[in-house]
Amino acid sequence: MEQLTTIGLNHYLTISAFLLGFGLFAVVTRKNAIVILMGVELILNAANLNFLAFSKYNGGMEGVMFSLFIIVIAAAEAAIALAIIINIFKLFKSVDVSSIDSLKE
């Protein structure tokens, strides 16, 4: 009980594990490319939460700086991925990733 009421490192790690699990689940099970992108964002957020939690309980600034860079790179990734998805939609009239099989024989 005492472990439940005193917020520590494990609480943050648990939330982050759930976010990672849901993100992976979305990436594996969805056909819509935009929902897959949302899953990737969830995974990046989980990593960020882990970095900040370890940074807080270690007392250093490394995790904070890492999470700042992760946010920047996530923004770049989302912009590029959406540009690619819009191009795919122009070509195939769909964002269903299992219908994009031009390379298949």
Partner 1 sequence: MSNQTYTVIFYLFAALTVFSAAFVVLTRNVLYSAFSLLFTFFGIAALYVFLSADFIAVTQVVVYVGGILVLLLFGVMFTNSIMNPGQKSEVFNIIPGLVIFAGVIGTLLYTFFNTQGWRTPAEPLQGSIVERIGFETMSRYVLPFEMVSILLLASLIGAAFLARFDKTGK
Tell me which residues touch partner 1 (CB under 8 A).
Answer: 5-7, 9-15, 17-26, 28-32, 34-35, 37-39, 41-42, 45, 48-49, 52-53, 55-59, 61, 64-65, 67-69, 71-80, 82-87, 89, 95-96, 98
- Report which DSSP code applies to 61: S
Q: For residues 32 and 96, what is the distance between their CA atoms, to the nearest angstrom?
A: 5
Residue 104 CB, nearest distance to partner 1 (Å)? 16
Contact between residue 82 and residue 37 where contact means Cβ atoms under 8 Å apart: yes
Contact between residue 26 and residue 35 where contact means Cβ atoms under 8 Å apart: yes
Q: Which is nearer to partner 1, 7 or 103 (CB)?
A: 7
